[in-house]
Amino acid sequence: MKSLPPLTSLNFHHLRYFWVVAREGSVSRAARMLHLTQPTVSEQLRELAEALGEPLLRRDGRNLVLTEVGEAVARLADEIFALGDRVLDTARGKATGSPLRLAVGVSDGVPKYVAHRILEPAFDARVQVTCREGSPARLLADLTTHALDVVIADAPSHDAGTHDHLLGECGLSVWGTKRLANELRVGFPRSLDGAPFLLPSANTGFRRELDAWFVAHKISPHVVGEFEDDALLAMVAEAGVGLYAAPDAIAQGRRPRGLVRAGPIKALRARYYAITVERKLVHPAVSLVAGAARATLFAPVRAAR
């Protein structure tokens, strides 16, 4: 087995463009099917290959052929989009006569952008999504009474009545305005000692891990604010009030406005889980978002030799 470096983020739509090109064997034919220009499709393929760190297509005379990694990605895309088509049919009522619904609980420790990227395939498949946000304890209580189909969380539940399905993981970095980040890049992470910092609320697992990391590196940041809402925290950071730590999946997918990376938190990883009451993923929309997250947002792609 050959494995690629872990992905920090991948555009779900780029995977679909590659899938169509792989099926058609031609960028021009794929562009016509997608109602896009050839340069647009070629650019999306280039970005996908860069995100994966491996070429997916190569020229063989006048023809485009899949590389070894391209074949593995195409097989994975076949499974994802076949399931997506089934979900779309169900959502339109073809399978059951009523739209497919998905009740999701999002733990307050999961950044909103990450939650959106995880759920994006369900929205694309026109699933009717009901989303609740709250503490893991309250959401898990709703899950066990079947008020929710799945809980998206940043930590496993370890509950006897639920099952944790790892969606993937990504790195963490410290971000700030260009002025702050440039000042602290030299000597990072020791340079964070005394630096203005914006922190998530103390009741989150991420905050506890971050505090432990500070202690291990003998860093005492100047805490200028604590936030329950990660979106508000990011807005305050954009205003230049202080630095903050964020999953690389956020930065790679949509860099926070005006912010640059001061440095990576190498010892920590952000992990995300789909928690259900079933041992296996039964709900078709949950299977879709879990498969897409593992393939395009977090997990490394594995190519068989």
The string of pLDDT tens digits covering residues 236-254 is: 999 999 999 988 876 655 5
Residue of higher predicted confidence among 258 and 103: 103
String of DSSP letters for 211-243: HHHHHHTT---EEEEEES-HHHHHHHHHTTS-B
Helical ranges in the chain per DSSP H: 12-24, 27-34, 38-52, 68-91, 112-124, 136-144, 178-185, 205-216, 230-238, 248-253, 284-292
Percent of the chain whose pLDDT exceeds 70 = 86
Given a cut of 90, is residue 198 above it in pLDDT? yes
Second-level CATH architecture of 101-168+272-297? 3-Layer(aba) Sandwich (3.40)
- Give the pTM: 0.66
2-93 maps to which CATH number? Answer: 1.10.10.10
The yes or no reply on domain 169-270 and CATH 3.40.190.10 is: yes
| 33-41: long-range contacts, CB 8 A cutoff, minimum separation 24 | 41/17
- Domain spans, the chain: 2-93, 101-168+272-297, 169-270
The CA distance from 24 to 235, in Å, is 44
pLDDT tens track for 50-65: 877 888 888 877 778 8
- Tokens standing for 85? 């088509």
